[in-house]
């Protein structure tokens, strides 16, 4: 995905959302015909996509006029979930109950709706996080090994991202940064983000050529994957805050 164009840190435009002042981040899209307003998945910023000819002042006024809607969206942000024995943790789109027994192997093992884990109870959370990071890297590596040949590009370098505001990015040096939390989402959602970033290796924009390439290499329903991220994606930030 293209990088978001941020305001200078010295004097950022902000939007009051409930009791908070959130920064406004603007992305100018060549083929956009109107402004589109969104709240970042983790609620950390207000985003507007707009035509290249749009004025920043208009974007700020538009965002502030939708403060009530943004407040309602922020209120829907999930509460932080505690990682402990008996808690539910999403993994590849399914909720798994954490089953702890000190006598079990220390490495987490997902099976039949459970994630069994041994070792000390006080280290469950960091060990589960490290395990998810490793699972994310393995899944992304397999996804890219699948999509790069379809796109006709060399297998790129990947890096795990902990960004709280986007799911993936493709740098000018062709490094794909992918949000490790996607390993908690359904496989088709994670793969849609990987395919999106691989398509950027062909077209570093969101032009019609880019979308044609994405449809060619991604086997699933892109609209359905985007719908899941829009409706459920912010829920992934309820764990490991």
User: What pLDDT was estimated at residue 4?
Assistant: 44
User: What pLDDT was estimated at residue 39?
Assistant: 84
pLDDT band at 9 (very low <50, low <70, confident <90, very high): very low
pLDDT band at 7 (very low <50, low <70, confident <90, very high): very low
Residue ranges, comma separated, of all CATH 3.30.2010.10 domains in the chain are 125-238
**Residues of the chain above pLDDT 90, percent:** 61
Kindly state the average pLDDT of the residues 25-40.
85
Q: How many CB atoms lie within 10 A of CB 48?
A: 23
CA dist 211 and 225 (Å) reads 14
Give yes or no for residue 184 having a pLDDT over 80: yes
Give yes or no for residue 2 having a pLDDT over 50: no
- Beta-carbon contacts of residue 161 (< 8 Å; ≥ 6 apart): 168, 169, 177, 178, 179, 180
CA dist 116 and 97 (Å) reads 8
8-state DSSP, 43 = S
CA 136 and chain centroid, separation? 13
User: What pLDDT was estimated at residue 20?
Assistant: 85
Tell if the pTM clears 0.85, that is, is over it: no
CATH architecture of 125-238: 2-Layer Sandwich (3.30)
pLDDT band at 49 (very low <50, low <70, confident <90, very high): confident
CA dist 43 and 37 (Å) reads 13
Higher per-residue confidence, 44 vs 62: 62
Helix/strand/coil percent split, the chain, to 5 = 40, 25, 35
Give yes or no for residue 75 having a pLDDT over 90: no
């Amino acid at each position: 995905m293209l990088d978001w164009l941020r305001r200078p840190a010295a004097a950022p435009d902000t939007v009051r959302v409930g009791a908070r002042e959130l920064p406004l981040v603007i992305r100018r899209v060549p083929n956009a015909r109107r402004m589109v307003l969104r709240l970042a998945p983790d609620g950390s910023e207000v985003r507007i996509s707009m035509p290249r000819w749009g004025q920043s002042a208009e974007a700020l006024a538009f965002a502030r006029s939708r403060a009530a809607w943004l407040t309602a969206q922020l209120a829907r942000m999930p509460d932080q979930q505690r990682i402990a024995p008996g808690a539910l943790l999403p993994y590849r789109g399914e909720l798994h109950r954490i089953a702890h027994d000190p006598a079990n192997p220390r490495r987490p093992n997902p099976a039949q709706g459970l994630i069994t884990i041994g070792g000390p109870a006080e280290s469950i959370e960091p060990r589960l996080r490290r395990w998810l990071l490793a699972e994310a890297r393995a899944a992304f590596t397999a996804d890219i090994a699948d999509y790069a040949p379809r796109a006709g590009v060399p297998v790129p370098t990947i890096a795990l991202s902990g960004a709280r505001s986007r799911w993936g990015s493709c740098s000018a040096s062709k490094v794909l940064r992918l949000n490790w939390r996607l390993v908690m989402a359904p496989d088709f959602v994670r793969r849609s983000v990987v395919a999106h970033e691989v398509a950027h290796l062909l077209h570093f924009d969101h032009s019609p050529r880019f979308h044609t390439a994405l449809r060619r290499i991604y086997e699933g329903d892109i609209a359905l994957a985007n719908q899941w991220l829009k409706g459920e994606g912010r829920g992934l930030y309820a764990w490991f805050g």
